[in-house]
Chains A and B, each alone.
Chain A
Amino acid sequence: QKEVEQNSGPLSVPEGAIASLNCTYSDRGSQSFFWYRQYSGKSPELIMSIYSNGDKEDGRFTAQLNKASQYVSLLIRDSQPSDSATYLCAVSRQGAQKLVFGQGTRLTINP
């Protein structure tokens, strides 16, 4: 079992719709959770961090965390073509320790 699992996609969503990205993790000691966006040929860019159960909203992005189910999700509202990228879920045990990444979900927003 992989430590962090994501559906590799591709996930295709029409422009203006809600894109939903999911991630599960196996280490119950994980305490910090992150979503990175990576455009083709570029490095990962941090878009959301979440540490407590529940929802965290930042603009069009909402991160959701359920530690009991070991599940993290990212919702992108009003999806734009510029949101087309690979989204990486990352978790860490404590503090600024090593990040463990999933393989990423490739998202395509169709105009």
Chain B
Amino acid sequence: DAGVTQSPTHLIKTRGQQVTLRCSPKSGHDTVSWYQQALGQGPQFIFQYYEEEERQRGNFPDRFSGHQFPNYSSELNVNALLLGDSALYLCASSDLAGSYEQYFGPGTRLTVT
């Protein structure tokens, strides 16, 4: 049973650039949530996608956008990168009609220089 996968594992970008992170949910899951985790902090909710629509959004600026594809995979896009965007970006998948549990992928470590 394939778990949640994310790519790339690590990424280094320059301030002002744009980045796209990718996530494939666990088999049988239809909902994808994205979180940002700064060093020493708990993850912060960015947004959640279900049926290719943004279902919920956290307190993040419009520079953060996302997309969900018909196969339930998802992308997180961040424009005009700031130094403060350096963090671990986590994707979590869940089954909206089933268990409330969310399972995390390995994450993408983004460094903005």
**Which of B65-73, B79-87, B92-100 sits within the interface?**
B92-100
How many angstroms between the C-alpha atoms of A49 and B103 in the bound complex? 12
How many angstroms between the C-alpha atoms of A3 and B96 in the bound complex? 24
How many angstroms between the C-alpha atoms of A97 and B41 in the bound complex? 20
- Extra pairs beyond A34-B101, A45-B104, A88-B43 (19, CB < 8 Å): A36-B104, A42-B107, A43-B90, A43-B105, A44-B43, A46-B102, A46-B103, A46-B104, A49-B99, A88-B42, A90-B42, A96-B94, A96-B95, A96-B101, A96-B102, A98-B58, A99-B33, A101-B43, A101-B44
Which residues of B does A touch, CB under 8 Å? 31, 33, 35, 40-45, 48, 56, 58, 88, 90, 92, 94-96, 99-107
Which residues of A does B touch, CB under 8 Å? 4, 32, 34, 36, 42-46, 49, 51, 88, 90, 92, 95-104
